[in-house]
Structure 1
Amino acid sequence: MPGVTLNTNETYLCSTFQLDLQDTHYLLEFEALADAKHIHHIILFGCDEPGNDAKVWDCGEMTAEKNSEYQQSPVCKNNPEIIFSWGKNAPKLELPEGVGYPVGGRTKNQNLILQIHYMHEEPKEDYSGLRIVSTIVPQPRTAATLLIVTGGTVKAHSTVDFEAACVLDEPIVMHPFAFRVHTHSHGVNVGGYIVNENAMTKKDEWFLIGERNPQLSQMFAPVSNKSAIIQPGDIIASRCTMKNDENHDITVGSSGADEMCNFYIYYMVEGTQTLKDNTCYSPGYPEYRWSTSAGLNNIPKHH
């Protein structure tokens, strides 16, 4: 960030970095230069056109409190793509050998957008950001992310699951290599799965991609099974267990007092074709359940 200051709490700011339009760059490594004491999260987006031409703008589209210092606009004009995300002082992420995230050149990501969610006022100039390692040498495998996200409400003094499931209906084979979870303070556990129906028994078979306590550092962690693949027709599912000990209901939203249920999958493909649709969404509890809404069975018990 170019020395931003803030006079409000819970502010999302974005800044654009225009890329080299001649050469494609392959991103290999990401490290946050930030402190979780005052920053809730950082997300690096790729997009064709930024949501605003200003050097810095307010990109908290869901926040109720408007920040008069900065113009308010979305992150991207259309189709934002999450490249990296960070929270709770997570360590750096290095992509596997021979894997790169292509940006610039003739890719759809002509701009990198840095989004920072600041918790509090920032009277001193803030220069938080990311350190990125890249190369112009083409990599044999291409990296991309898939975000599984829910809405939902957890009532006062209750524990519920926010669940989502989507079918892979594009002609690609995904090799997941890392995952990341994100909730606010009520998240207890977040897990992601690959689900196949056994044609003989009609029972669903569940394969864990990864699970993690979201109150730990919100790093991209290695998947449980590095040889796992996701093929067309497979179901990708996530579950966030939420515990609310407060005297009021908590609903998904963008402020720290609200909740979020996000499961990110970092995957690679042979060649260059990645998912066109990079988000899987459900309305969450109480509207959406794996068993009724998605017709899934043999559901894994909580650990």
Structure 2
Amino acid sequence: MMAPTHMLFLRVVFLFLLFFDLTCCEVKKFPLLMPNVYPDRDELYLCTPARVVDDKSFYIVGFEPNATMNVAHHMLLFGCTTPGTTDQYWDCGEMAVSDQASNLRRASPCETGNHVIYAWARDAKTLELPEDVGFQVGKGTEIQYIVLQIHYSKKFPERKTDNSGLFLMYTEEPQSKLAGVLLLGVGGFIPPRSLTYMETACQIVEDKTIYPFAYRTHTHSLGRVVSGYTIKRDSKGRDHWSLIGKRDPLTPQMFYPVFDKSPVSYGGRLAARCTMDSRKRDRVTQVGPTNNDEMCNLYIMYYVQNTTPLDMKYCITEGPPYYHWTNEGNDLNNVPDFEASSLD
């Protein structure tokens, strides 16, 4: 099997750098772009991989989008131990249902070692990480491949192709703070003619301290407010909710600086709520991948010091009507009910 174009390009670039003995601390860019793909149907998810050379470590320190919202509904960047396939690109919309024949192989973004590194939507701008912070990939990590996923919501006109994607800013200089992403998400469904809260919460059970520095919200058309919190319990059993971030998810879905940079350690909790407004919709809306469905996601980007990022990558609940913060047995109190759903 021929190696994917990105694999060959990446190896050539790094061999070139090694041959000329360039300094390690220079920040460089790598183009991870779709190889002129043709989205031949609505609601198509496509993935393309890049192989990281296996004898060196690299640190991703920024992301420069090369996409517009009229072409790409959203993009996700995954770090994988092994990708779903090493084809040049493939259909990676495993949750979508299509009765149309396709010549593309169908597989998940990652076969093993799934890590969300970055997400983009709604014409979000370039993101540069704080000083000394980077996502470590390559030697000594689980991330041996980088996989770009793009959701194309609409079929392209005949003979029109696309090369949207990302420019990854990276360095070979070790960073003292390693970055990670924790995705807080919710399942379930939204009843018609309703204002519905979709909520999730989880506890840090690893002996690590994370330092949140950026957050990103994501819903489809029904989202009005997405808010995220850290929760710490005092000696009297009272929960104190500190706002990580809150935003209208229909504004550019980029990573924004957190409101509260307080670290979260073992035993601390993280929580998120999406306020969904279906008061003008007469049908039930399921959580799913298409524009007719909904999503409730809050991405928290953080760093750790003198250790590796959390093994926990996702904090997912089954959502309404089954899960709410105030359910008996959730052990949460002092919930900021009004503040969590208000942009004031």
TM range (shorter): over 0.9
Output the CA distance in 2 between the equivalents of 1:44 and 1:18: 13
1:3 paired with 2:39, answer no
Alignment match of 2:301 (pick from 236, 243, 266) = 266
* CA distances 1:142-162 after superposition (whole Å, capped 9, x unpaired): 001000111021111101100
Runs of 4+ in structure 1 deviating by more than 6 angstroms, as ranges, are none
Structure 1: any 5+ residue segments left out of the alignment? none
Output the CA distance in 1 between the equivalents of 2:178 and 2:120: 21
The one-letter code matched in structure 1 to 2:136 is P
CA contact (8 A) 2:208 2:307 kept: no
Alignment match of 1:95 (pick from 129, 138, 145) = 129
Alignment match of 1:22 (pick from 35, 41, 55) = 55
Structure ranking higher in helix proportion? 2
The one-letter code matched in structure 2 to 1:139 is Q
TM-score scaled by length of structure 1: 0.97
CA contact (8 A) 2:49 2:146 kept: yes
Q: Label 1:47 to 1:153 Cα distance change in 2 as closer, same or farther (>3 A).
A: same
Output the CA distance in 1 between the equivalents of 2:126 and 2:103: 32
1:129 alignment counterpart: 165
* Mapping for residues 1-303 of structure 1, pairs under 5 Å: 1-65=34-98, 68-122=102-156, 123=158, 124-200=160-236, 202-226=237-261, 228-244=262-278, 245-292=280-327, 293-300=329-336, 301=338, 302-303=341-342
- Which 10-residue stretch deviates more, 246-255 or 271-280? 271-280
Output the CA distance in 2 between the equivalents of 1:23 and 1:277: 25
CA contact (8 A) 2:113 2:142 kept: no
TM-score scaled by length of structure 2: 0.86
Output the CA distance in 2 between the equivalents of 1:87 and 1:279: 20
The one-letter code matched in structure 1 to 2:111 is K
- Which 10-residue stretch deviates more, 292-301 or 149-158? 292-301
Output the CA distance in 2 between the equivalents of 1:269 and 1:235: 16
CA contact (8 A) 2:113 2:143 kept: no
RMSD of aligned C-alpha atoms? 1.1
Output the CA distance in 1 between the equivalents of 2:255 and 2:274: 17
* CA distances 1:217-253 after superposition (whole Å, capped 9, x unpaired): 0010000023x11110011100000011211011101
DSSP 3-state at the match of 1:258: coil
CA displacement at 1:66 relative to structure 2: 5.1
Structure ranking higher in strand proportion? 1
Aligned residue pairs total: 301
Structure 2: any 5+ residue segments left out of the alignment? 1-33
Structure whose CA Rg is larger: 2
